[in-house]
């Protein structure tokens, strides 16, 4: 599914045009973006929240030591 997102400010101008343009393509759906603000909070707002988020490396730690040499034929 492909979404053609029309900004809310341009809905009157573009929604009907895009809907008609993509009418023959069942894989495209034209939608209007009705969001008024971002859902993400800024880092300063996160710092004021109830808990402190710990940033850490999620990769597995490396195995200590050296790897043995591979046998050659």
**Could you report the average pLDDT of every consecutive run of 10 residues in the chain (73 residues)?**
94 96 96 84 58 79 84 79
At residue 66, the pLDDT reads: 87
At residue 48, the pLDDT reads: 56
At residue 42, the pLDDT reads: 62
What is the per-residue DSSP string for 26-73?
Answer: TTEEEEEE---S-SSPPHHHHHTSSSPPPP---SPPPPSS-PPPPPP-
At residue 19, the pLDDT reads: 97
């Amino acid at each position: 599914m492909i979404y053609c997102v029309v900004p809310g400010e341009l809905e009157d101008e573009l929604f009907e045009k895009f809907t008609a343009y993509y009418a023959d393509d069942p894989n495209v759906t034209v939608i209007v973006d009705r969001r008024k603000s971002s859902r993400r909070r800024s880092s300063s707002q996160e710092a004021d929240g109830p808990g402190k988020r710990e940033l850490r490396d999620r990769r597995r730690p490396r195995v200590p030591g050296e790897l043995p040499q591979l046998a050659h034929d």
